[in-house]
A and B are shown apart, each in its own frame.
Chain A
Amino acid sequence: MTIVQLFFFFFRISAVTFGGGIVILGMVKLGIAERQDISEGEFSDMVSLAASVPGPLAVSIAWLLGRYYRGLKGSMAAVAGAVLPPFVIILILSPIILKYSGTPEVQGFFKGVLAGTGAIITMVVFDNVRSTLSCGWWNIVPFVVVIALIGIFGINPLLSMLAAFLVQLTREKLVLR
């Protein structure tokens, strides 16, 4: 892919993908499936790395795929393509929302969307937690540590995650040898 193609490849996907995350990876995978210049193994290595670093998956997969095709410039073009659609859309909506957020119609709209969002999150949490906790009894320890530190003690989530990760590392070093 050329630099321009990289930009528009991610621009197109980003403009129609809601929610980000896993969905975007599926779209990218579909988009490159018929290409001869990248193998499935190379792409799945990128997905694996993208999922191991923090930040939106759209950004990390765009950076890696851009780098694969065109180095640093390719990365920048791909990330710009991925970020611009949501950025522009929210930038256009922000002043409108700030101006009308007090009106009953807009508030009602958000109440309705939030009820639906609650339903979606409930589903995601249910599936995720069930499969995470069924991986092994130990997983409940870091799971509870994170919830307690953030939800009950109100500690900075970044520090709480670090603490839970240290718990994981300690177990790795002491128990699983």
Chain B
Amino acid sequence: MKVLLELVFSFSQIAAGAFGGGLSTLPLIEYQLVRATGWLTPSQFSQVLALSQVTPGPIAINAATFVGFQQAGIPGSIVSTLSIVIVPVLILCGALCLLKKLEAEKSRKFKDMLRPIVGGLLTLSLISPLTVTAKNGVTAMAMLILGILLLRTCKFFKNYPPVLLVIYGIIGAVIFS
């Protein structure tokens, strides 16, 4: 029971700060799951990040389902995923009640103010994949740099990044094992 409450507490905090969607949530997920609770080691965290990129759905939900299961089985994954859903829904309902109609100007201003904050979070989200890949060796780093070139130059990979990731995963399974 205690662990379920801890899962709710951690994932509610992740959900409450998940502005900007997607990758900018990574520093919050890393802080809660690696630093604050120790549920994941840094290298496990990088595995969860990799997993979330080759499966559908928002990274926060992927991380919640996986870590919830790891900590407390199916009940754990249910309460963790629900936390990621319910907190934003409550905030959204609160916002809908407060503003009778959406004031475009205020909303735009709010998002402009958030923008550099989200940019900072995004920048921080680079640390984990870069340091872990550097630790994985020269070949892994070379793959990363080649990946940037492929995404810049090849339209297909630019439009379908998960395809690149799956190819990279297969290459990795062959050459790193």
Q: Which residues of A contact B (CB under 8 A)?
A: 14-22, 24, 45, 48-60, 63-64, 75, 79, 83, 85-87, 89-91, 93-95, 97-98, 101, 103-125, 128-129, 132-133, 135, 139-147, 150-151, 154, 156-158, 161, 164-165, 168-169, 172
Contact = CB atoms under 8 A, between A and B. Distances in A.
A59 B77 contact: no
17 contacts: A18-B54, A18-B56, A52-B110, A56-B60, A63-B92, A86-B65, A90-B51, A94-B65, A94-B77, A110-B47, A113-B50, A113-B165, A113-B172, A116-B165, A116-B168, A164-B116, A168-B113
A37 B152 CA distance: 39
A32 B51 CA distance: 30
A114 B128 CA distance: 10
B117 A87 contact: no
B124 A151 contact: yes
Interface SS, A side:
helix
A114 B173 CA distance: 12
- List the 7 shortest-distance A-B pairs measured between CB atoms, nearest first: A112-B172, A55-B88, A86-B57, A119-B147, A146-B120, A21-B22, A108-B176
Interface in B155-177: 161-162, 164-177
B173 A18 contact: no
Interface of B: 13, 15-19, 21-23, 27-28, 31, 35-36, 44, 46-47, 49-51, 53-62, 65-66, 69-70, 74, 77, 81, 84-85, 87-89, 91-92, 95-96, 102, 104, 107-108, 110-127, 129-130, 132-133, 136, 140-141, 143-148, 150-152, 161-162, 164-177
A87 B121 contact: no
A169 B85 CA distance: 28
Interface SS, B side:
helix
Contacts of A116: 53, 143-144, 147, 161, 164-165, 167-169
B177 A108 contact: yes
Contacts of A24: 58
A106 to B, nearest CB: 7
A122 B22 contact: no
Nearest to A148: B120
